[in-house]
A and B are shown apart, each in its own frame.
Chain A
C-alpha cells in the first residue's frame, strides 16, 4: 500500500507530462546511441483486415518483444527489432483465434515468430521517422516501410528511462503465403504498433 502511495504521484506526473517533451537531456541522448528493450506490457501490435469487403475485423498480437536503438545524433544508426508470437493472436473470439493460429492462417506451430527488423532509419520530421526493414511472416520476408512517430521520452516512476513510438504499415498477406479465404477475408493487413522501450 505504501509503495502505491509513493509511486502514484510519480506516475501521475509522468502521465501529465506533455507528449513529445523528452525529460532526458538532449545532450545525454545524443552522446551515444541509446539502447532500449521493448516493454511487452506497454506495447501493442494491432491489425485490421477487411471482412467480406464490408467491415473490418480488428485483432492484436499480445506481448511484443524486441529492442530499439535510438541515435539522436545520427538517426540513420537507429534501429528497431520487434518479435511477436503468432500464438498470442487475439481477436476477442476464442473460436476465431484458434482458427487464426492454425495452418490456414498464422500456422503458429510451424512458424511461431513474426518479426520486423529494420534495415534503414530516416528522420523525416521533428518526431517522425521512416523505418524500412524486413517483415517476416510465415517464414517469408518482405520489405516494408513504416512511419514511426516518437510520442515521448522520459523517466518512469521506477527510475528507468523510457521512449515511446507508434506507427503503422500495410502488408499483403498473400505475399507471405497466407492465401486462405482471400475472397472473404481481405489481402491487405493494416498493422499499427505502439511500443515503449526501457533503456538498458
Chain B
C-alpha cells in the first residue's frame, strides 16, 4: 500500500513543489511579475502527472495500448502548451482548443471504431467543446484570483473525481486523478506562503485535459455513470459563482470559500451518485455479498472454523 502513496501522492507533490520553487526563484528576477509563477504552474503540473503515471505504471509504450496510457504524454503536451500560452497571449485560445481535442481524441481511441462516422463526429465535437469551456473557465477565473483558494477549489475537483473513479470500478483511474490532486495540494500550501501564485494560463493546460480524458475513460471503459460524470465534469464552472457581485463584495477569505463551495457542491453530487451502489449495495438474490477482500464484516452465520485470522506476515 505504501508504493501507491509514495508514487501517487508524495512523488507528484514533490515534483510539482520543486518546479514551483524554481519558478518563484526565477519569477523574483523577472520583469513581468506573473511570468515565473504561471510558467512554473504548467511545468509543475506536467511533471507531477507524468512522473506519477510513469512511476506507478511504467512506460506505456508509443503509441500507448490503453486510452489512459496517453495521460502522461497529454501532461507533457499540456506543459509545453502552457509554457507557450504563457509566452504568447494570442496563442492561448487555439492552444486550449488543441488540448481539448487531444484529450478527447486520446480518450476515445478504443471506442471510436464502434461508432458510425456521424455519431463519432457528434461525440467528439460535443466533448471537445465541453473540455474547452471548462479549461477556459478555469483560466479566466484563475487569472483574476491568485492565491491558495483557487488551488484548493481545483484540489476539491480532482480529489472528488479520484474518489468517484475509484469507487466505480477502477482504483487505477482513481490514482490517476489523484496525481494532479497531489500537485494542487502542494500548490495550495505554496500559495498560502506566496499568495500571488497564479494557476492561470499554465496549470489548467495540464489539469483540464487530464481530467477530461480521465472522465471519459471512467465513463466509457469503467462504470462511472453519466449522472455522476456530468456534474463532475462541470464542477469547475462553479468557479464563476465566485465572480458574482454578491460574492466579490465579500471579504477575500469569504469569496474564496464561496468559490470552493461552488465547486464542491457539484463534485459532492457526482461523487455521491458514483459511490452510492458501492457504499449501499442492494442485497443480491443469494444474500449479502460475502465481502470481496475489502475488509467488510464477516456474516454472523459463517461457521467459526471457516474464519481464518490473517496477519501481515502471511501476505508475502
Whether the pair A109, B220 counts as a contact (CB closer than 8 A) is yes
Q: Which residues from chain A contact B293 at a C-beta distance below 8 Å?
A: 51, 96, 184
Contact partner of A94 among B66, B68, B173, B289, CB < 8 A? B289
Q: Which residues from chain A contact B250 at a C-beta distance below 8 Å?
A: none
Q: Which residues from chain A contact B68 at a C-beta distance below 8 Å?
A: 103
CB distance from B93 to the nearest CB of A (A): 33
Q: In the complex, which residue of chain A has the Cβ closest to the Cβ of B221?
A: A109
Is B172 on the interface with A (CB-CB < 8 A)?
yes
Whether the pair A109, B110 counts as a contact (CB closer than 8 A) is yes
CB distance from B127 to the nearest CB of A (A): 17
Q: Which residues from chain B contact A99 at a C-beta distance below 8 Å?
A: 169, 292
Q: Which residues, 154 to 188 on A, are CB-close (under 8 Å) to B?
A: 177, 179-180, 183-184
Whether the pair A107, B66 counts as a contact (CB closer than 8 A) is yes
Q: Which of B116-124, B144-152, B155-163, B308-316 contacts A (4 or more CB under 8 A)?
A: B308-316
Whether the pair B57, A95 counts as a contact (CB closer than 8 A) is no
Q: Which residues from chain A contact B170 at a C-beta distance below 8 Å?
A: 102-104
CB distance from B316 to the nearest CB of A (A): 6
Docked complex Cα distance between A95 and B292 (Å): 7
Interface string of A105-146 (1 = CB under 8 A from B): 001011100000000000000000000000000111000000
Whether the pair B220, A53 counts as a contact (CB closer than 8 A) is no
Docked complex Cα distance between A184 and B4 (Å): 14
Given A54-B314, A179-B57, A183-B316, the answer on whether A102 and B289 have CB atoms closer than 8 Å is no
Docked complex Cα distance between A200 and B169 (Å): 41
Q: Which residues from chain B contact A138 at a C-beta distance below 8 Å?
A: 65-66
Chain A, interface size category, equals 20 to 34
Whether the pair A52, B289 counts as a contact (CB closer than 8 A) is no
Docked complex Cα distance between A38 and B104 (Å): 39
Given A94-B284, A103-B222, A180-B172, the answer on whether A54 and B290 have CB atoms closer than 8 Å is no
Is A23 on the interface with B (CB-CB < 8 A)?
no
Given A104-B170, A180-B172, the answer on whether A54 and B289 have CB atoms closer than 8 Å is no
Q: In the complex, which residue of chain A has the Cβ closest to the Cβ of B217?
A: A103
Q: Which residues from chain A contact B67 at a C-beta distance below 8 Å?
A: 110
CB distance from B206 to the nearest CB of A (A): 21
Whether the pair A110, B110 counts as a contact (CB closer than 8 A) is yes
Is B287 on the interface with A (CB-CB < 8 A)?
no
Is A93 on the interface with B (CB-CB < 8 A)?
yes
Whether the pair A103, B173 counts as a contact (CB closer than 8 A) is yes
Q: Which residues from chain A contact B299 at a C-beta distance below 8 Å?
A: none
Is B243 on the interface with A (CB-CB < 8 A)?
no
Q: Closest 7 A-B residue pairs measured CB to CB?
A: A102-B169, A110-B110, A103-B170, A109-B221, A139-B65, A95-B292, A96-B292
Name B's A-contacting residues (CB within 8 A): 57-58, 65-68, 110-111, 169-173, 217, 220-223, 281, 284, 289-290, 292-293, 310, 314-316
27 intermolecular pairs with C-beta atoms under 8 Å apart? A51-B293, A53-B314, A53-B315, A54-B310, A54-B314, A93-B289, A94-B289, A95-B292, A96-B292, A96-B293, A98-B223, A99-B169, A103-B66, A103-B68, A103-B170, A103-B217, A104-B169, A104-B170, A104-B171, A107-B221, A110-B221, A111-B110, A138-B65, A138-B66, A180-B171, A180-B172, A183-B316
Since A102-B221, A103-B68, A111-B110 are in contact, a sample of 11 more A-B pairs with Cβ atoms closer than 8 Å, ordered by chain A residue number, is: A52-B314, A94-B284, A98-B169, A104-B169, A104-B170, A104-B172, A107-B221, A109-B221, A110-B67, A138-B66, A184-B315
